[in-house]
Structure 1
Amino acid sequence: MQETFDMIKKFLEDNKLRLAEGTLKNYGYTLNSFFVYMQKDYKTIRTKDVREWIAKLMNDGLKAISIEYKLACLKSFYSYLLDEELISKNPVAKLALPRKGNALPYYLEEEQLQKLRELVKDDPLERAIVETMYVTGVRASELIEIKLSDINWETRKIDINGKGEKERTVLFTNECELRIKKYLNNRCDNSPYLFLGKKGKPMDRFLLNYYYKKFSKKLGFKVTPNTMRHTFAAHLAIKGMPLQYIQTLLGHDNPETTRIYAKLFAHVRKKIYDRYI
């Protein structure tokens, strides 16, 4: 690895006259971060390694324009190595970011999900919200409309009145049941709604979004109500659930939405494949 870091210094030194001081600092930070993350020498980096790094940046919530900048930095470095005849093949030469219209839904990796759970473990309301959104895949608008009467505790199912007044049933786990009941045991009210906000009123979108902004700030990575829905779908795909079943649980029938989630499904299955190659 030391040879790689020395080569980064040489690259920056040789480009002092071509690049502004601020650009040089940003290039140095990006290159060092990339190789620290990969834990590989510059000579052994493959195209699939760079794709993995890009996916990580996307999952961290980094904006496309920032990722494009980092990729440009990496391309510049490897073009330099090729010109210096230090490598025979440029692993990033043909790499490009997906266009905005083809971007995959952003979801949490398992490690990020566990960090989120750990963050909210001591707050019964927040812990119940996180677990319910993760294991059911409900939309924010659907979550705040859930009533206690919609829940079948015996079968662990919740009746959801979704988009366009379309009804569906979602499932929840034993762990989710425990988290919800712990939250309910702390309540002293007669409200028919599952989740309440301030002064015993039903939870609203503003308060729900406030919680997730707070989570994001403390965790250092982006997480929103919609992130939980995407994470639900991605993790089921990783575990092998067929796409049509995931779509049913999500309440999807829009062809465009179906196309996006089909791409997500293909993406996460490809990640599993890459682990064994």
Structure 2
Amino acid sequence: MSVDVTAEGLLEAFVRYMAYERNASEQTLVGYRGDLEAYIAYCRERLGEEFAPSAGDLDLVRGWLSGMMDRGGKASSVARRLSSAKSWYRYLVKVGYLSSSPIVSLKAPRQERPLPAYVPTSELERILEPVESPSLREVRDRLVVATLYECGLRRSELAALRTIDVDLERRSLKVVGKGDKERIVPFGISLAQMMQQWSEIRDREFGGSDSFFLTLKGKPMKGSDVYSIVRAQLASVPNLARRGAHTLRHSFATDMLNSGADLLKLKELMGHSSVATTVQYTHTSFRQLQQVYHAHPRAQNNTTIMDIRIQALHFDATEQLKEFIRKKLDKLNRFADDIQAAEVLLKVVKPEVSENKEASVKLLISGNDLFVDKVADTFEEAIDLCVDVLKRGLEKRKEAHK
């Protein structure tokens, strides 16, 4: 049988290899295919002829990545596409098409890690509050959120759960994660009761099912269905930059650490191959930082250190802007000694008008959070306006407690 050595043929062979020999997920395969089709199209346009990968393609890859950066592409997107290209060239070396990869030493642009989105426990408790005479949709959607949050699953893992994977007696899930790796995830009595309720309603409506979670039409659920459910359920949570299933997975990890969970055990629960990945998924526990800080004898009477979390929607905030925000918010400690954290969200609301920079600030204070958002010509002005409002709010709060 002849081997198709066109760029498209080599791409298809690579995708089959990743699917059948590396057990890559459908989402990963779609990403590889899209990235590499874009690369092949770029090479054809630049060369003005058919493209065949070779050991001399370094400049082609550099030009492809540079073009994306020049058009305002995010560093994270450029890094992902470079990773796809590296994987493809490694495969071509593996199968003997190339003797070496031309981009083995090419580094991705440095990218700033955005602060992971986190859903406060109080908001999750509100969302999961039981309702009287719930519909099938309400029972299922609450259970989807609860399972993602209490078990730390990926959306693809939840969608793939089979009825036989759910052991209500032992209160455990058998989860198949990335690379077809299996793990056992325990859960509590409350979640077991919710699962039992869903199982009974589901079976009455659709009969027995191999898939544990179903759509409202009785079909097995997909990852995209899970995303839509979670996004709708988290719509009412204020000041949340991202509202997908991964936000709940991150919230699971953060709350586990805040409750004293061991990082290595958490790694196993989340199905990570490396503890370094687990660390990236978690907020630094502010409660742990406070405990360490207050252990020092000179720190006993000092005010708490404010944890300032800054998120920028659809753009990268400069370090200068972040430092400006930190300095402004740090001054609020003079008006209250129990501010635990400040969550800042920056976004451009209407690009066509001058006053289009919106800043939202939420102060997390024991017993009474404060929230304000302001729009101005610059983010610095918007932050100044927010800080003025928060100062007045803290002063009123202080007067009320006298």
The TM-score normalised by the length of structure 2 is 0.40
Give the alignment partner of residue 225 of structure 1, picking from 233, 241, 245. Answer: 245
Please tell me the residue identity of whatever aligns with 1:240.
Answer: G
Higher Rg of the two aligned structures: 2
Q: Which has the higher contact order (CA 8 A, sep 6+)?
A: 1
1:210 equivalent in alignment to 2:228: yes
In 1, Cα distance between equivalents of 2:239 and 2:210? 34
Provide the C-alpha distance between the structure 2 equivalents of 1:240 and 1:255, rounded to a whole number of angstroms.
16
Q: Which amino acid aligns with 1:246?
A: L
- Give 1 or 2: higher strand fraction: 2
The verdict on how the C-alpha distance between 1:258 and 1:213 changes in structure 2, with shifts beyond 3 A counting, is closer
Please name the residue that 1:192 is paired with: 210
Equivalent residue, structure 2, for 1:269: 288
Query: In the comparison of the two structures, how many residue pairs are matched?
Result: 178
Per-residue Cα deviation, 1:117-136 (whole angstroms, up to 9, x for no partner): 23878421111111111111
Question: Structure 2 matches for 1:1-277, cutoff 5 A?
Answer: 101-118=112-129, 122=134, 123-187=138-202, 188=204, 189-222=207-240, 223-254=243-274, 256-261=276-281, 264-267=283-286, 269-270=288-289, 277=304
SS at match of 1:142: helix
Q: Distance in 1 between the 2:115 and 2:287 partners?
A: 10
SS in 2 for 1:149: helix
Task: Give the aligned residue type for 2:129.
Answer: E
Match of 2:369 in 1: none
Matched residue type, 2:183: R
Structure 1: runs of 5+ lacking an equivalent: 1-98
Q: Secondary structure at the match of 1:245?
A: helix
Structure 1: which amino acid aligns with 2:215? G
RMSD: 2.6
Q: Tell me, yes or no, if the aligned pair for 2:267 and 2:275 is still in contact at 8 Å.
A: no
Q: CA deviation at 1:220?
A: 3.7
Identity %: 28
Q: Secondary structure at the match of 1:203?
A: coil
How far apart are the structure 1 equivalents of 2:293 and 2:131? 33
Q: Which runs of 5+ in 2 are unaligned?
A: 1-109, 295-299, 305-402
CA distance in 2 between partners of 1:119 and 1:218 (Å): 17
Q: By how many angstroms is 1:260 displaced?
A: 1.2
Shift of 1:167: 0.8
